[in-house]
């Protein structure tokens, strides 16, 4: 028998760097959702101050794990998870974790959780296999480690069962996945039952991923979910009102990325100094790639989406100007449903409020109403280029000049 904490902490969440293709619940939220559906989970309480941690630990009983509730992988390695055997250790753990900066995220809450004795660590998960266009159930006896590494190094260690979404998971499929994975017969029934519940949750709650890693097996042959991952399809939040409320709590991260959420932009912050604004994901990605190709470094991905009006365009410029790393901006719009005249109006609006333009802006307009846009655009405020390639090169030059 191993005791959690000897080799690693109970519920140590290995960095899952997988697709962040949805709204991520915090561990404590996902555990609540799983527990409500009947999945066995360790005793736990959420706490936001040191005394709260100690009180929770005493109610639960030592040893406990104190776990930072932030949306990043590799919490344990970064010092965001600590084991405590008594009050002093609980206090110490709480003091070091609460308020810490974990990979850019401020920790203001921890989960205090019963540390579980375990003999084995399993993995169970449901996700969408986009290649097949079907959900897939996965089971492995190699739980407790980054499952994507297992998938790469030892793919046969993960049993997979594709599910017909019209029928749902047949009971035999849950059993088959569990037996194919080589799970011991003494717990096979319980693991099948957890997998079945997990699929039902995934289906009912519009899950993108639902995972338990590790699903611990105790010396009494019980199973217990030491960690919980539940990512929800953002496009389905309209019909998941309870989960949509949780999103507020789960929100966090980079200040600029939060601002982008407010404005409703698809925005990703990068590390370079050439700011990029465009319409349509593929074209914006291409603009980033060209900045790189011409020797510059993209500062961000910002897609204003289709049919953006003037105020949205002005907001986009405000976003990119707020990034201190940005030294120049390239504005690349190919109008389909987006109209060049609206874009030009927005650029004028955003720039005319400045006595001095904070960072040089290069504009390239093409497609719907681009001629009208060019007539409206105040060319004293921006540099105009006719082609995508020229616009990117010019913006990269500006950024370099400033950096020199």
Partner 1 sequence: MSVLVDDDTRVVVQGITGGEGKFHTEQMMEYGTNVVAGAVPGKGGQEVSGVPVYDTVHEAVEEENADTSVIFVPPAFAGDAIFESLDSGLDLAVAITEGIPTQDMARVNKRLTETDTRLIGPNCPGLITPGEAKLGILPGNIFSEGNVGLVSRSGTLTYQVVDNLTNRGIGQTTAIGIGGDPIIGTNFVDALELFENDPDTDAIVMCGEIGGEDEEEAAAFIDEHVDTPVAGFIAGRTAPPGKRMGHAGAIVSGSGTGTAESKISALNDAGVPVGDTPEEVADHIEEFLA
- Contact call for residue 72 and partner 1 (CB under 8 A): no
> Binding-site residue total for partner 1 (CB under 8 A)?
60
Q: Among residue numbers 196 through 215, which ones bind partner 1 (CB under 8 A)?
A: 203, 206, 208
Write the interaction track for partner 1 spanning residues 6-45; mark x where CB under 8 A is met and - where it is not.
Answer: ---------xxxxxxx------------------------
Relative orientation angle of helices 241-250 and 27-36, to the nearest 10 degrees: 160
Under the binding rule (CB under 8 A), the answer on residue 366 touching partner 1 is yes
Instruction: Tell me if 279 contacts partner 1 by CB under 8 A.
Output: yes
Stretch that binds partner 1, among 90-98, 179-187, 235-243, 317-325 (CB under 8 A): 235-243
Q: Is 242 in the site for partner 1 (CB under 8 A)?
A: no
Cβ burial, residue 286 (10 Å; 0-12/13-18/19+): middle
Decide whether 15 or 79 has the Cβ nearer to partner 1.
Answer: 15
Q: Structure tokens of 101?
A: 């900066």
Do the beta carbons of residue 204 and residue 128 sit within 8 Å?
Answer: no
Give the contacts of 402 (CB within 8 A, at least 6 positions apart).
273, 327, 328
Give me the long-range contacts of 385-393 (CB less than 8 A, separation at least 24): 388/286, 388/287, 388/290, 388/332, 388/364, 389/290, 389/294, 390/364, 391/330, 391/331, 391/332, 391/362, 391/363, 391/364, 392/287, 392/290, 392/291, 392/293, 392/294, 392/296, 392/330, 392/332, 393/294
Position 155 contacts partner 1 (CB under 8 A): no
- Given the complex with partner 1, which of 16 and 142 has the nearer CB atom? 16
With contacts defined by CB under 8 A, name the span among 37-45, 133-141, 185-193, 316-324 that binds partner 1. Answer: 133-141
Residue 99 vs 165, nearer CB to partner 1: 165
Among 157, 236, 357, 381, binds partner 1 (CB under 8 A): 236
Which residues neighbour 179 within 8 Å (Cβ) at sequence distance 6 or greater? 188
Of 100, 157, 244, 285, the one binding partner 1 by CB under 8 A: 285
Contact residue for partner 1 among 5, 42, 63, 135 (CB under 8 A): 135
Give 84 or 163: the residue with its C-beta nearer to partner 1.
163
Site string for partner 1, 288-317 (x = CB under 8 A): xxxxxx----x--x-x--x-----------
Q: Which stretch binds partner 1 (CB under 8 A): 79-87, 308-316, 373-381, 387-395?
A: 387-395
Instruction: Among 171, 239, 378, 401, indicate the residue that binds partner 1 (CB under 8 A).
Output: 239
- Distance of alpha carbon 395 from alpha carbon 360, whole angstroms: 8
- Residue nearer to partner 1 on the CB measure, 378 or 386: 386
Q: Quick one: tokens of 76?
A: 């344990």
Burial of 77 (0-12, 13-18, 19+ CB in 10 A): exposed
Does position 157 interact with partner 1 (CB under 8 A)? The reply is no
SS3 100: coil
How do beta strands 328-335 and 361-367 pair? parallel
Which residues carry out catalysis? Answer: 123, 211
CB burial string 170-183: b at 16+ within 10 A, e below: eeebbbbbbeebeb
Only segment of 116-124, 172-180, 188-196, 281-289 that touches partner 1 (CB under 8 A): 281-289
Tokens of 300: 């961000």
The residue range among 54-62, 75-83, 276-284, 310-318 that interacts with partner 1, by the rule CB under 8 A, is 276-284
C-beta of 45 vs 332, nearer to partner 1? 332
62/294 with CB nearer partner 1? 294
- SS3 for 230-272, per residue? EEECHHHHHHCHHHHHHHHHHCCCCHHHHHHHHHCCEEEECCC
Please state whether beta strands 229-232 and 274-278 pair in parallel, antiparallel, or not at all (unpaired): unpaired
Which residues would be at the binding site for partner 1 (CB under 8 A)? Answer: 15-21, 128, 130-131, 133-135, 148-149, 151-152, 164-166, 203, 206, 208, 233, 235-236, 238-239, 266, 268, 270, 278-286, 288-293, 298, 301, 303, 306, 334-337, 366-368, 387-389
């Amino acid at each position: 028998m191993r005791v959690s904490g000897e080799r690693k902490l109970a519920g140590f969440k290995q960095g899952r760097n997988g697709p962040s293709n949805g709204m991520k619940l915090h561990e404590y939220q996902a555990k609540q959702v799983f527990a409500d559906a009947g999945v066995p989970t360790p005793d736990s309480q959420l706490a936001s101050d040191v005394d709260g941690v100690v009180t929770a630990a005493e109610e639960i009983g030592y040893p406990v794990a104190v776990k930072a509730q932030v949306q990043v992988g590799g919490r344990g390695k970064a010092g965001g998870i600590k084991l405590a055997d008594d009050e002093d250790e609980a206090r110490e753990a709480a003091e070091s974790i609460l308020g810490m900066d974990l990979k850019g995220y401020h920790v203001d809450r921890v989960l205090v959780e019963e540390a579980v004795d375990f003999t084995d660590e399993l993995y169970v998960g449901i996700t969408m296999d986009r290649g097949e266009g079907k959900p897939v159930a996965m089971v492995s006896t190699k739980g407790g480690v980054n499952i994507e590494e297992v998938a790469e190094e030892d793919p046969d260690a993960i049993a997979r069962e594709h599910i017909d979404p019209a029928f749902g998971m047949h009971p035999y499929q849950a059993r088959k996945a569990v037996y194919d994975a080589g799970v011991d017969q003494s717990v096979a029934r319980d693991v099948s039952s957890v997998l079945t519940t997990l699929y039902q949750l995934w289906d009912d709650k519009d899950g993108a991923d639902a995972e338990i890693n590790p699903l611990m097996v105790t010396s009494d042959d019980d199973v217990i979910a030491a960690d919980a991952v539940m990512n929800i399809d953002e496009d389905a939040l309209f019909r998941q009102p309870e989960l949509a409320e949780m999103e507020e709590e789960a929100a966090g991260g980079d200040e600029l990325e939060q601002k982008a959420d407010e404005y409703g932009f698809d925005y990703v912050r990068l590390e370079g100094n050439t700011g990029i604004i465009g319409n349509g994901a593929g074209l914006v990605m291409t603009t980033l790639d060209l900045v790189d190709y011409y020797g510059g470094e993209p500062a961000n991905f910002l897609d204003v989406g289709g049919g953006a009006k003037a105020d949205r365009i002005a907001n986009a410029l405000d976003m990119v100007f707020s990034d201190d790393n940005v030294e120049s901006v390239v504005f690349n719009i190919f109008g389909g449903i987006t109209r060049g005249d609206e874009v030009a109006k927005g650029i004028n609006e955003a720039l005319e409020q400045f006595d001095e333009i904070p960072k040089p802006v290069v504009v390239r307009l093409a497609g719907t109403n681009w001629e009208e846009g060019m007539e409206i655009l105040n060319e004293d405020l921006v540099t105009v280029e006719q082609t995508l390639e020229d616009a990117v090169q010019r913006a990269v030059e500006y950024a370099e000049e400033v950096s020199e």
